[in-house]
């Protein structure tokens, strides 16, 4: 969990600022594990809550979609969210809240931003050759001796005519 005591801002005047450094890792963000979290965030007291802004660098491990090898993906999380103060009813515009004791838990926000930062198709390298569809050999590491011309079985009878 990535939590900070911001109780000094709960009763402060709007415009009061607090700078927090994040240096943690590895972290479990519920269902996602990141290798590290490093960055600086600004927490500003605003009317009815706390505005969290900052940039956090991170890295997580995924599988290459072509060769299924593990790949480390650096990600940048740009945070900007208003947290409502504890005790109030949830509002549609500010679903995140500061606890009654003045603790700011950034885990849900970091988790959400991490999921959004993951590429749709993570690759180990742009020129990854993937796996052979017949024998399963990793074509980045070895070449296979499989027949390259694959004929659709529905059209195999036509091959005999050639």
Distance CA 136, CA 98 (A): 50
Question: Residue 108 to residues 33, 84, 88, 96, 143: CA-CA distances in angstroms?
Answer: 13, 14, 19, 8, 44
Residue 104, CB half-sphere, CA atoms under 13 Å: how many?
28
Distance CA 17, CA 59 (A): 28
Q: Is the distance from CB of 18 to CB of 38 less than 8 angstroms?
A: no
pLDDT at 96: 76
Spell out the residues 6+ positions from residue 140 whose beta carbon is closer than 8 angstroms to its own: 67, 69, 124, 128, 129, 130
The pair of structure tokens assigned to 15 is: 């415009």
pLDDT at 153: 79
pLDDT at 92: 60
What count of residues does the chain have? 162
pLDDT at 78: 94
DSSP sequence for 7-75: HHHHTSPTT-EEEEEEEE-SEEETTEEEEEEEEEEEEEEETTEEEEEEEEEEEEEEE-TTT--EEEEEE
- Which residue's structure tokens are 């900007």? 80
Structure pTM?
Answer: 0.76
pLDDT at 89: 60
pLDDT < 50: residue spans in the chain = none
């Amino acid at each position: 969990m990535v939590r900070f005591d911001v109780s000094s801002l709960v009763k402060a005047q709007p415009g009061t600022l607090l700078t927090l450094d994040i240096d943690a890792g590895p972290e479990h963000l519920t269902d996602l594990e990141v290798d590290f979290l490093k960055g600086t965030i600004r927490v500003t007291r605003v009317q009815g809550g706390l505005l969290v802004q900052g940039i956090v660098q991170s890295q997580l491990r995924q599988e290459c979609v072509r060769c299924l090898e593990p790949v480390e993906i650096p990600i940048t999380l740009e945070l900007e969210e208003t947290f409502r103060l504890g005790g109030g009813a949830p509002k549609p515009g500010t679903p995140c809240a500061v606890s009654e004791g003045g603790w700011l838990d950034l885990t849900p926000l970091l988790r959400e931003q991490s999921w959004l930062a993951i590429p749709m198709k993570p690759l180990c390298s742009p020129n990854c050759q993937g796996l052979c569809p017949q024998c399963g050999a990793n074509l980045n590491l070895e070449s296979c001796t499989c027949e390259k011309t694959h004929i659709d079985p529905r059209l195999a009878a036509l091959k005999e005519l050639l």
